[in-house]
């Protein structure tokens, strides 16, 4: 993109050394005409797109429930979930204020929170929702049992919604839809009845998994046992802290595990950067990873969902990845899936290039060579001699107007003025001073014409090691 001499993209001052164009004709390239081919009308194209696009077709043909407003909000609340999730913080605060602190209970709370959280991240998420690795049957039973202690629904329900989230990210068929706001993606989708059904997904593998079906049939018993009885009994029988087992190891733990999981749908779509793809909302950030047992490198995960890793680098926090790796070393897991490194590098490269291109759009570039007139050396000399107020210098086949720069020339005014109307190529390319890349770039901004049959730089042929390659000139 080319800006004029007095404006820039951000409204600031543009590069001051851009001369006004010469009043000469610009050569035109004659384009061959091609026969027009019959094309689909816009209406036909839209109809064809709608017919073959499931999301568009569904959104058009399946009506959405009325929006939630002040007059109907109480009717649309999912009261069982709202009561459970809404009461957790108050029960936890009451317990903290009325229950003595026991260090054994504190340690067990952290440990049980970590294990039940792993049931979600290593079990529900990476094993069952994404099939990023294979686990033996005993390990699958252990994971679904631990996940039941997090009380986040059955793995069949959880994985179905999560697969829909990946397939329909940031559309109205996404059950968590970050595009609807951070409150909705964090907890709103649970508190209120959905406005429409989320998109269809394939869950045949879950229906055929005996551990999944066992948990689904016994979910309530498992929720009570793993969510409350186990922590209460461990703390009570272990060091006589039944009360702490309930308020700390059960309720407070559930509060943290719930909202840590919710952060994968909310915070991981708002906080951080997008090193692999920025077409959707998922982001990578260490803080989110710290909160979610490694699920915070979410941009990578959405781009490569079947990879058992979320974090690629050894120093990035991803205990779920490390746990799966340990499972593999113990012979409990196998076929840990990784996306090819080459494809991952492609994603990084694409985003780095996009960032670089966006940066390049903020730069003022010289005119494309095709926009410059072509004149003879004699015409150049004539223009240089008769055009008063314009200082023209020929360098490497290009005619430059240095009028606005001559007073700022670091080598002095007289040296540059001595080359006006002449071929200053040798002087510029080392005959007087071997100019820097910055000098080459600045000189390119002063091009006003091309000299016919010019451009041979004999100095560069003899001493190519001294050649400073200027920044590529973009039109």
**In the chain, what are the domain boundaries?**
60-353, 369-466
Give the long-range contacts of residues 26-35, CB within 8 A, separation 24 or more: 26/371, 26/372, 26/373, 27/370, 27/373, 27/374, 29/370
| Cα–Cα dist 130/433, whole Å | 63
The neighbour count for residue 324, using CB atoms within 10 Å, is: 24
Q: Are 270 and 126 in contact (CB under 8 A)?
A: no
Task: Give the pairing type, strands 134-135 and 333-334.
Answer: antiparallel
CATH architecture of the domain formed by 369-466: Roll (3.10)
Tell me the mean pLDDT in the region 273-295.
96
| Cα–Cα dist 214/143, whole Å | 12
Top mean pLDDT of 40-54, 75-89, 388-402 is at 75-89
Tokens of 408: 């700022």
- Tens-digit pLDDT profile for residues 312-334: 999 999 999 999 999 999 999 99
- Tens-digit pLDDT profile for residues 229-264: 999 999 999 999 999 999 999 999 999 999 999 999
Q: Which H or E element spans position 172?
A: none
- Tens-digit pLDDT profile for residues 333-371: 999 999 999 999 999 999 999 999 999 999 988 888 889
Q: What pLDDT does 1 receive?
A: 35
Q: What pLDDT does 50 receive?
A: 64
| Cα–Cα dist 385/404, whole Å | 17
Average pLDDT over the chain, rounded to whole? 87
CA distances, 156 to each of 202, 214, 305 (Å) = 11, 11, 18
Tokens of 160: 């179905």
pTM tops 0.85, yes or no: no
Which range has the worst mean pLDDT, 59-68, 108-117, 303-312, 376-385?
59-68
Does residue 398 sit in helix, strand or coil?
A: strand
The neighbour count for residue 325, using CB atoms within 10 Å, is: 16
Name the DSSP letter for residue 300.
Answer: H
- Tens-digit pLDDT profile for residues 400-439: 999 989 888 888 888 888 889 888 888 888 766 778 888 8
Tokens of 99: 């229950």
Does residue 401 sit in helix, strand or coil?
A: strand
Tokens of 120: 């979600």
């Amino acid at each position: 993109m080319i800006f004029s001499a007095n404006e820039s993209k951000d409204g600031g001052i543009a590069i001051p050394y851009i001369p006004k164009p010469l009043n000469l004709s610009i050569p035109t390239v004659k384009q061959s005409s091609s026969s027009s081919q019959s094309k689909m009308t816009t209406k036909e194209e839209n109809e064809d797109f709608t017919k073959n696009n499931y999301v568009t077709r569904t959104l058009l043909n399946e009506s959405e429930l009325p929006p939630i407003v002040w007059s109907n909000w109480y009717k649309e609340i999912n009261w069982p979930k709202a009561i459970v999730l809404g009461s957790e913080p108050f029960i936890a605060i009451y317990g903290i204020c009325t229950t003595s602190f026991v260090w054994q209970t504190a340690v067990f709370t952290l440990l049980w929170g970590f294990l039940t959280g792993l049931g979600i991240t290593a079990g529900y998420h990476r094993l069952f929702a994404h099939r990023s690795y294979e686990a033996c049957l005993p390990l699958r039973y252990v994971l679904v049992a631990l996940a039941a202690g997090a009380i986040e629904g059955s793995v069949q329900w959880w994985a179905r919604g999560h697969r829909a989230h990946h397939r329909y990210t940031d559309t109205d068929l996404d059950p968590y839809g970050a595009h609807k706001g951070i409150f909705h993606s964090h907890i709103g989708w649970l508190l209120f009845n959905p406005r429409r059904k989320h998109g269809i997904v394939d869950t045949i593998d879950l229906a055929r998994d005996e551990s999944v079906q066992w948990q689904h049939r016994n979910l309530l018993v498992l929720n009570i046992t793993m969510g409350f009885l186990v922590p209460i009994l461990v703390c009570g029988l272990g060091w006589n802290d039944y009360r702490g087992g309930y308020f700390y190891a059960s309720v407070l733990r559930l509060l943290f595990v719930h909202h840590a999981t919710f952060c994968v749908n909310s915070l991981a779509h708002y906080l951080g950067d997008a090193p692999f793809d920025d077409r959707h909302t998922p982001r990578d950030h260490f803080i989110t990873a710290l909160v979610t047992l490694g699920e915070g490198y979410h941009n990578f995960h959405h781009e490569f969902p079947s990879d058992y890793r979320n974090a690629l680098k050894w120093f990035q926090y991803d205990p779920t990845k490390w746990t799966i790796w340990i499972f593999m070393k113990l012979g409990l897991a196998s076929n840990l899936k990784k996306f090819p490194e080459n494809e991952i590098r492609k994603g990084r490269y694409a985003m780095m290039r996009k960032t670089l291109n966006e940066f390049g759009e903020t730069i003022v570039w010289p005119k494309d060579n095709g926009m410059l007139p072509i004149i003879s050396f004699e015409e150049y000399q004539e223009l240089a001699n008769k055009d008063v107020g314009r200082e023209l210098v020929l360098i490497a086949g290009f005619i430059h107007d240095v009028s606005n720069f001559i007073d700022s020339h670091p080598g002095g005014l007289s040296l540059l003025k001595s080359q006006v109307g002449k071929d200053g190529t040798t002087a510029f390319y080392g005959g007087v001073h071997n100019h820097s890349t910055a000098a080459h770039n600045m000189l390119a901004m002063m091009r006003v014409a091309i000299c016919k049959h010019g451009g041979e730089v004999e100095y560069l042929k003899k001493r190519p090691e001294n050649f400073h390659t200027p920044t590529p000139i973009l039109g």
